[in-house]
Structure 1
Amino acid sequence: MTPNSLNFSGGPGALPQAVLAQTREAIAALPETGLSVLGMSHRSDWFYSILHEAESNLRHLLGISDDYAITFLQGGSSLQFAMIPMNFAAGAGAPPEYVSSGYWSARAAAEAARVRTTRIAWDGRPGGYRKLPDLYTLDVARPSAYLHYVSNETVEGLQFPACEEAFAVPLVADMSSDFLSKPIRPGVFSMIYAHAQKNLGPAGVTVAIIDRSLLERIPNGLPSILDFRTHISHGSNYNTPPVFAIYVLTLITRWLRFDIGSLTAMQDINERKARRLYGALDALGDCVTVHADRRWRSQMNVAFTFGDARLDDAFLVSAREQGMVGLEGHRSIGGLRASLYNAVTPQAVGTLADALTAFSVHCI
């Protein structure tokens, strides 16, 4: 991989060039402290200011009120798959319900079932995970602890539209792969969580946004580190947090707030990128197949195939020769996948679209 490679990986994903430059400088020495960010104490005034800024920027970008707590956790979404039912499903009138719409939501439902009794509200596996349900038409029991779904299925390239209205039961969303890619209405949700390595920076930190009223459900007796109240009451500094990952996350939020300008502006950029790539793929006709049904296509992850593993592999080789990497499909479905996270530039997407068009002569 060359320094100028174009990263289309599903994760860890691309980072903005401005953030990479600041990170490179901070690894040598932070301008504010003269010490490397890798050696900064999590108990330092500098780090407490970073935690405060990260939260403040998220509240500004997303319009999050003080009715919601924000905390920065470790363990990725995989830990949240267990923590959420442990904290919020005990003693509820009915089991939590899960939308199983792809690889990661199926993983979330399976892990939750190890902790509490659960119910699958909708399962896309029989149809090969190519479409999504309309959330508001699901038959969800009113006393259910919550309804959990993954807003963007990274593997299959499926994305739910924005939720605009309150749901009948508490709504919990894993937004790991489209968080901060567009505006949302936080008040619709009881909890939103998102791990990094997509739009938030390097792996190591997970953002959790929780309606404070939901905290009243948490049973006593949980291990302290698995109790959301512990992390909230300690200001995300209960045990040694991922200082470096939170620092880069803060740089990302600065970039979105002050360079891009808003999540509406970011959404406009992402929509243009997705139109460019899907337009190129659709123009190839039967030469290529996009995994997701057209209505549910993701703006973040585009899963597709030439229908022949040899052609898919040949395109990967051709793409690498042109400086494009990370286009391998997920092991569960194979094929190819282009991830168009926030930091992937329109110019990079144009290069990929042109490469696909040029490669299509091999389909004849």
Structure 2
Amino acid sequence: MKDKVITFAAGPTKVPTEVKETIRKEMLDFNGTGLSILETMHRSKPFVKLLETCEKNVRQVLSVPENYKILFLQGGATAQFAAVAMNLFGGTSKTADYLITGMWSVKALQEARKYGECREVCPLVPDFKDIPPESTYELNPEAAYLFYCDNETISGVEFSHPPTPPEGVPLVCDMSSNILSKPVDVSKYGVIFAGTQKNFGCSGCTVVIVREDLLDRALAYTPGVLNYAQQAKAGSIYNTPPTFT
């Protein structure tokens, strides 16, 4: 059976047979609506219910505290490299700290520097073969946030535990490639984001978990589709979401 093919691709992830069977069954008639999910209006009750179920499941599986919003956005994790900066540089601090441990944190840094000052706060390891010890970090207690990528897939290094930011500095993490693979204490983070194609399922969506007290720190020119506060208020339907993701 082709379903037994093993893939070592970086993504999309393998989808359980039971899920694919359900998709095939409901492709022509989604939940008895007479419409395919491909045809279902994104503001209709059936789709809103589906979105609410997804949020509930993510909150339950990851034990997300009630003071966090769960958003389903577009643009992949790459869009979040800019979104994080735009959503957090509007507060009192215009400086952010970045732990550079591989290609993805480098890309995040390059994007964020378009919107504010970003500091590399740990020694660079040749070829990113290891993660520097936390004792070498030079962190700014006034930073808008501390960013790191939990699992650098290109260089093959993963944090064994989250770094500890100075008190009051939100910790921001790209968990695209290892979310759902281990327990996570969400309460230690200000923002967590992950592209869905790695461990959640199909590509086309990004899960963003953001602490509610950070929703008022966006730069004035942050686009609505990337604005955490506006998307939270709209229930992740500020714009048309990918209904079949």
Alignment TM-score, normalising by the size of structure 1: 0.63
> 1:21 aligns to what?
21
Identical aligned residues as a percent: 36
How many residues matched?
A: 244
Matched, 1:38 2:42: no
Verify the 8 A CA contact 2:216 2:229 in the aligned structure 1: no
Verify the 8 A CA contact 1:167 1:188 in the aligned structure 2: no
RMSD of aligned Cα (Å):
2.1
Verify the 8 A CA contact 1:28 1:35 in the aligned structure 2: yes
> 2:181 aligns to what?
181
Q: Greater shift after overlay, 48-57 or 165-174?
A: 165-174
Distance 2:163 2:130 in 1: 20
> 1:144 aligns to what?
143
Helix, strand or coil for the counterpart of 1:122?
coil
Helix, strand or coil for the counterpart of 1:9?
coil
> 1:72 aligns to what?
72
Are residues 22 and 142 of structure 1, via their aligned partners in 2, closer, same or farther at CA, if it must alter by over 3 Å?
same
Distance 1:222 1:100 in 2: 25
Pairwise CA distance, 1:110 = 0.8
Q: Greater shift after overlay, 86-95 or 14-23?
A: 86-95
Helix, strand or coil for the counterpart of 2:121?
strand
> 2:157 aligns to what?
158
Are residues 19 and 140 of structure 1, via their aligned partners in 2, closer, same or farther at CA, if it must alter by over 3 Å?
same
Q: Deviations over 1:67-116 (max 9, x none)?
A: 11111100001111011111102354351011111111111111111222
Distance 1:136 1:17 in 2: 46
Distance 1:161 1:138 in 2: 16
> 1:108 aligns to what?
108
Unaligned runs of 5+ in 2: none
> 1:12 aligns to what?
12
Distance 1:17 1:136 in 2: 46
> 1:200 aligns to what?
200
Verify the 8 A CA contact 2:146 2:165 in the aligned structure 1: no
Counterpart of 1:102 in structure 2: which amino acid?
G
User: Which structure has the larger Rg over C-alpha atoms?
Assistant: 1
Distance 1:106 1:146 in 2: 16
Helix, strand or coil for the counterpart of 2:216?
helix
Counterpart of 2:138 in structure 1: which amino acid?
D
Pairwise CA distance, 1:3 = 4.5
Counterpart of 2:103 in structure 1: which amino acid?
Y
> 1:50 aligns to what?
50
Verify the 8 A CA contact 2:225 2:231 in the aligned structure 1: yes
Pairwise CA distance, 1:134 = 3.7
> 2:244 aligns to what?
244
Pairwise CA distance, 1:202 = 1.1
Please show how residues 1-364 of structure 1 align to structure 2 within 5 Å: 2-93=2-93, 95-124=95-124, 126-135=125-134, 138-163=137-162, 168=167, 169-245=169-245
> 1:280 aligns to what?
none
Verify the 8 A CA contact 2:139 2:166 in the aligned structure 1: no
Moved over 4 A (4+): 164-167
Counterpart of 1:205 in structure 2: which amino acid?
C
Alignment TM-score, normalising by the size of structure 2: 0.92
Helix, strand or coil for the counterpart of 2:209?
strand
Unaligned runs of 5+ in 1: 246-364
Verify the 8 A CA contact 1:76 1:195 in the aligned structure 2: yes
Distance 2:28 2:112 in 1: 42
